[in-house]
Chain A
Amino acid sequence: MKKFSLQQWLVVLAFVLVVSFTGVFAIRTVRRAIYWHYHQDEPIRPWMSLGYVAHSYSVPPWILYQALGLPPKVGGPDRRPIREIAREQHRSVNEVIAILQDAIIHARPPYPPPGPLPHPEREPSQGRSP
């Protein structure tokens, strides 16, 4: 067989590189899929709203509002992301996330399930420290 020219060797090299690249991303995709299959909860991120966090963690939204000392939202959607709430409360984003995680832990087994939404006339709690 005639030997490969330089240009042909370059194509072979590109082929090997692309196969490696594809392999790396395929492994990453599978690893991520396996990880998320076994980890039900995704980390709380600054862009998330309290409604989304409650939806993602399957807890009633009012417990998150209560944990942050906010009046529970009834009616219209509250689209404020966590970073916005942190700014309003003069807290760091990490501090707010820690409070939310704490509230979520206490709303899930082995703790008793949270009851219905407290009466609106009741004073909201002053917020749970992390």
Chain B
Amino acid sequence: MSITDQVLAALLVYGLPVLFGVILVCSVGIPFPISLMLVAAGSFVEQGEMKLWQVIAVASVAAILGDQIAYGLSRWGGRRVINRLSRKLGVEEKIKQAEALTKRWGGTGIFFSRWLVTALGPWVNVASGMAVYPWRRFVLWDVFGEVLWVVVYVGIGYVFSNRVQAIGEILGNFTWVMVGLITTAILGWQVVRYVRMNEQAGVRFRFSVARRSRSVRGADVGIKPGVKRSGTPGTSSQRS
């Protein structure tokens, strides 16, 4: 029997304690079929075997608590390692830049990694802790995101209560599609930036070469009006 079958069977028999334990462990970073479990819990609610408010309360508290544990361990344990390594490698400035970026965009990342891109959730917890993202803001985004996640997935299980296995499979794949789309957008933006940077660098390079050659040959040498020049800005040869 697969791990998924075992977890779902345990949920069926023991109910809320299993829901709490598995979500807590998964939020800290150990991979489990957690989305499928929430969908199954929604189905059991619809069949009258579990109570809706209990499922939402227990799952939300477990997820938030697990996130706080991961954040705390990374902030107070991982921070020391980062400091030591950055000093050794001489990348303290880069680390500070990364921290500033996390502080600026961290809230959005925390919120969306709770319920839309759930596969990234544990990583975002660790990154937030290591970057010393303000704890109160972390808790705020975390609570919003996790409660939304629990409500959405339990709701899906409630609505499609007779198709738990099917919905679980689709949601499992969909999460990775979302991860892929976000990473594609970030890398795509980076590639476009490189192309633009290189275009500008190429233009500057050719412009400086042309100026140097003109100064060597003299301003009146070889350049006649109406004659196409190679290697100067604004000509078609630059973009080849």
Grouping DSSP codes into helix (H, G, I), strand (E, B) and loop, the A interface class, with mixed when no group exceeds half, is helix
Residues in B with CB closer than 8 Å to A4 are 194, 198
Q: Does the CB pair B13–A77 fall under 8 Å?
A: no
- Interface residues of B toward A: which range? 35 or more
Residues in A with CB closer than 8 Å to B183 are 18, 22
Please tell me which stretch of B43-51, B78-86, B123-131, B148-156 contacts chain A, meaning at least 4 of its Cβ atoms lie within 8 angstroms of it: B43-51
Which residue of A11, A15, A47 is within 8 Å of B6 (Cβ)?
A: A47
Q: Does the CB pair A22–B177 fall under 8 Å?
A: yes
Q: Does the CB pair B162–A18 fall under 8 Å?
A: no
Q: Does the CB pair A18–B180 fall under 8 Å?
A: yes
Q: Does the CB pair A1–B165 fall under 8 Å?
A: no
Q: Does the CB pair A55–B47 fall under 8 Å?
A: yes
Interface flag for A123 (CB, 8 Å): no
Residues in A with CB closer than 8 Å to B1 are 46-47, 83, 93
Report the minimal beta-carbon distance from A14 to chain B, rounded to whole angstroms: 6
In Å, the complex CA distance between A33 and B198 comes to: 43
Q: Does the CB pair B169–A32 fall under 8 Å?
A: yes
Interface flag for A28 (CB, 8 Å): yes
Interface flag for A8 (CB, 8 Å): yes
Interface flag for B209 (CB, 8 Å): no
Interface flag for B217 (CB, 8 Å): no
Q: Does the CB pair B49–A29 fall under 8 Å?
A: no
Please tell me which stretch of B24-32, B105-113, B184-192 contacts chain A, meaning at least 4 of its Cβ atoms lie within 8 angstroms of it: B184-192
Interface flag for B205 (CB, 8 Å): yes
Interface flag for A66 (CB, 8 Å): no
Interface flag for A111 (CB, 8 Å): no
Query: How many residues of chain A are within 8 Å of chain B by beta carbon?
Result: 40
Q: Does the CB pair B202–A12 fall under 8 Å?
A: no
Which residue of B8, B162, B191 is within 8 Å of A15 (Cβ)?
A: B191
> Which residue of chain A has its CB nearest to the CB of B204?
A2
Q: Does the CB pair B49–A14 fall under 8 Å?
A: no
Interface flag for B201 (CB, 8 Å): yes
In Å, the complex CA distance between A12 and B5 comes to: 40
In Å, the complex CA distance between A115 and B162 comes to: 22
Report the minimal beta-carbon distance from B37 to chain A, rounded to whole angstroms: 10
Given A47-B12, A58-B162, A79-B12: A25 touches B176 (CB 8 Å cut-off): yes
Q: Does the CB pair B163–A80 fall under 8 Å?
A: no
Q: Does the CB pair A33–B170 fall under 8 Å?
A: yes
Q: Does the CB pair A29–B194 fall under 8 Å?
A: no
Residues in B with CB closer than 8 Å to A121 are none
Interface flag for A88 (CB, 8 Å): no
Q: Does the CB pair A1–B173 fall under 8 Å?
A: no
Report the minimal beta-carbon distance from B188 to chain A, rounded to whole angstroms: 6
Report the minimal beta-carbon distance from A74 to chain B, rounded to whole angstroms: 14
Q: Does the CB pair B13–A29 fall under 8 Å?
A: no
Q: Does the CB pair B184–A81 fall under 8 Å?
A: no
Residues in A with CB closer than 8 Å to B188 are 15
Interface flag for B223 (CB, 8 Å): no
Interface flag for A26 (CB, 8 Å): yes
A residues lining the B interface (CB < 8 Å): 1-4, 8, 11-12, 14-15, 18-19, 21-22, 25-26, 28-29, 32-33, 36, 42-43, 45-49, 51-52, 55-58, 77, 79-81, 83-84, 93
Q: Could you list some 7 contacts between A and B, CB below 8 A? A: A1-B238, A22-B183, A25-B177, A47-B7, A51-B49, A55-B161, A80-B13
Closest 3 CB pairs of A and B: A22-B180, A47-B8, A15-B187
